[in-house]
């Protein structure tokens, strides 16, 4: 029987995402000046205030206030009427030294024996619903908000947009678990005040339907056939969204973990990513399991794959690795046997994950909005400035866990052509 499935996304100006982006900017700066840094940074944002807290072990000294202001400025909180503005907001830092009790479990004499930074389980997921091997509802929800941010920065076709926004996409699936159409789209966007609420509602609804959605369809033509004239739209359904961002709702690092991953598909171990260096397996192992799942689906092992890995704090070897194919496997093997082959291909000890995916580089700011998964791997040059004014340029590879560099190895291991 056909069914509906929904995923949501939030914009870079959403208060929780503001917090994530500040935390990941701190990670990038610490790693840029000291790749051995151990960092766990949390950020809280509210009306006119930013609070930074966490634990750090690093040789680098940073101007954390200026880094935070730079992130806020880039997002677009640059006007006093937002009640949260890059140059005027107060910033309090309560960052202190990392616990030696934790550090001694991570750092070992032999690098390959590096222990996991915490216990817990992490999940990676992939599906052939999209070319990015991501769930379609989440992919569309991200793309709607990404294009909305492009429109905001252009300040041409739509001039009243403010940084905070949310989207939601509901898909109809057929009896074969394949998406066939978009049922509902929800877009809530912060905006400047209008002279009347009635004109405001009509104008925003019209612009979203006639400017934003056609641009999404044109830019992502592969999704055009999912759009139809029966889509139910809810545009700013409360009627007004002038008060937004950290002034409208306090933001915290790590509160959008489903938006960050698979939109409710697959599973999630509960650990947030942003603000954590790669010794924290909440982050690195989640990227590694995504890398595994994506390469398995791309190689033709299954149409849908969920990979779970678990760790004990201070121990290098995972306590378990589990693979589920939901009955979509294309090979004549049980999920248990598929899992054993996966273990022989991918070394899931933390040090080897860091090396394989090049995680001790300043690559994390780009992950902190519009999803950590399903993004495009690319090489970029990033620039960092020390408190003394020293400019450091680093050439780094982003989203390495999205590469299909293990497809040939997977095919060989499973006897696929």
Task: Tell me: is residue 340 an annotated ligand-binding position.
Answer: no
Task: Yes or no: say if 241 and 189 are a contact pair by the CB < 8 Å rule.
Answer: yes
Task: Tell me: is residue 395 an annotated ligand-binding position.
Answer: no
Task: Tell me: is residue 166 an annotated ligand-binding position.
Answer: yes
Task: Tell me: is residue 240 an annotated ligand-binding position.
Answer: yes
Task: Tell me: is residue 247 an annotated ligand-binding position.
Answer: no
Q: What single DSSP character describes residue 368?
A: S
Cα(299)–Cα(295) distance, integer angstroms? 6
Helices (H), 300-372: 335-345, 350-356
Residue written as tokens 């799942």?
A: 293
Torsion of CA 254, 260, 264, 268, to 10 degrees: -60
Minimal CA–CA distance to 251: which of 282, 276, 272, 281? 272
Minimal CA–CA distance to 291: which of 359, 223, 340, 364? 359
Cα(413)–Cα(339) distance, integer angstroms? 12
DSSP characters for 266-294? Answer: S---S---TTB-TTSHHHHHHHHHHHHHH
Task: Tell me: is residue 55 an annotated ligand-binding position.
Answer: yes
Task: Tell me: is residue 178 an annotated ligand-binding position.
Answer: no
φ, ψ dihedrals at 28, nearest 5°: -60, -45
Beta strand 179-191 with 232-235 is parallel
Minimal CA–CA distance to 285: which of 79, 116, 411? 116
Crossing angle of helices 335-345 and 281-299, rounded to 10°: 110
Task: Tell me: is residue 16 an annotated ligand-binding position.
Answer: yes
Handedness of CA 260, 264, 267, 270 (dihedral sign): positive
Torsion of CA 76, 80, 84, 90, to 10 degrees: 120
Cα(247)–Cα(46) distance, integer angstroms? 6
Question: Would you tell me how many other CB atoms lie within 10 Å of the CB of residue 280?
Answer: 24
Give the list of residues 6+ apart from residue 244 with CB closer than 8 angstroms, or none: 13, 82, 162, 163, 164, 190
Task: Tell me: is residue 190 an annotated ligand-binding position.
Answer: no
Task: Tell me: is residue 272 an annotated ligand-binding position.
Answer: yes
Task: Tell me: is residue 403 an annotated ligand-binding position.
Answer: no
Task: Tell me: is residue 14 an annotated ligand-binding position.
Answer: yes
Helices (H), 45-116: 64-75, 100-106
Task: Tell me: is residue 268 an annotated ligand-binding position.
Answer: no
Task: Yes or no: say if 181 and 228 are a contact pair by the CB < 8 Å rule.
Answer: yes
Task: Tell me: is residue 73 an annotated ligand-binding position.
Answer: no
Q: Which residues are annotated as a binding site for L-methionine?
A: 55, 98, 249, 280
Q: Which residues are annotated as a binding site for ATP?
A: 14, 164-166, 240-241, 249, 255-256, 272, 276
Q: Which residues are annotated as a binding site?
A: 14, 16, 42, 55, 98, 164-166, 240-241, 249, 255-256, 272, 276, 280
Q: Which residues are annotated as a binding site for K(+)?
A: 42
Q: Which residues are annotated as a binding site for Mg(2+)?
A: 16
């Amino acid at each position: 029987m056909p069914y509906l499935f929904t995923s949501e996304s939030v914009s870079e100006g959403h208060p929780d995402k503001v917090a994530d982006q500040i935390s990941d900017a701190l990670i990038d700066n610490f790693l840029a000046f000291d790749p051995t840094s151990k960092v766990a940074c949390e950020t809280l944002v509210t009306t006119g205030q930013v609070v930074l807290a966490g634990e750090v072990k690093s040789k680098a000294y940073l101007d954390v206030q200026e880094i935070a202001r730079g992130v806020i400025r880039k997002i677009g909180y640059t006007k006093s009427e937002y009640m949260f503005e890059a140059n005027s907001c107060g910033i309090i830092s309560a960052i202190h030294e990392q616990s030696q009790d934790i550090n001694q479990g991570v750092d070992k004499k032999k690098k390959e024996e590096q222990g996991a930074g915490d216990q817990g389980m992490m999940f990676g997921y992939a599906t052939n619903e999209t070319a990015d091997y991501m769930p379609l509802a989440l992919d569309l929800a991200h793309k709607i908000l990404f294009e909305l941010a492009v429109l905001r920065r252009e300040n041409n076709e739509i001039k009243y947009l403010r940084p905070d926004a949310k989207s939601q996409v509901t898909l109809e699936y057929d009896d074969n678990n394949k998406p066939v159409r978009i049922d509902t789209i929800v877009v809530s966007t912060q905006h400047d005040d209008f002279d009347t609420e009635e004109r405001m509602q009509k104008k925003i609804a019209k612009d979203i339907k006639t400017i934003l959605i056609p641009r999404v369809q044109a830019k992502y033509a592969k999704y055009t056939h999912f759009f139809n004239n029966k889509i139910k739209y809810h545009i700013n359904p409360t009627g007004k969204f002038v008060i937004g961002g950290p002034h409208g709702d306090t933001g915290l690092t790590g509160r959008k973990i489903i938006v960050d991953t698979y939109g409710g598909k697959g599973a999630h171990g509960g650990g947030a990513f942003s603000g954590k260096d790669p010794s924290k397996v909440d982050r690195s192992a989640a990227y590694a399991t995504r890398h595994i799942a994506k390469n398995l689906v791309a190689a033709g092992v299954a149409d849908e794959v969920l990979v779970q890995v678990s760790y004990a704090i201070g121990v290098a070897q995972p306590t378990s690795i589990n693979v589920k194919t939901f009955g979509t496997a294309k090979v004549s093997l049980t999920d248990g046997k598929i899992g054993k082959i996966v273990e022989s291909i991918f070394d899931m000890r933390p040090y080897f994950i860091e090396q394989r995916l090049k995680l001790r580089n300043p690559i994390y700011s780009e992950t902190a909005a519009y999803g950590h998964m399903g993004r495009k791997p690319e090489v970029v040059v990033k620039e960092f400035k020390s408190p003394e004014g020293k400019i450091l340029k680093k050439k780094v590879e982003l989203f390495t866990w999205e590469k299909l560099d293990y497809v040939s190895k997977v095919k060989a291991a499973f006897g696929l052509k």
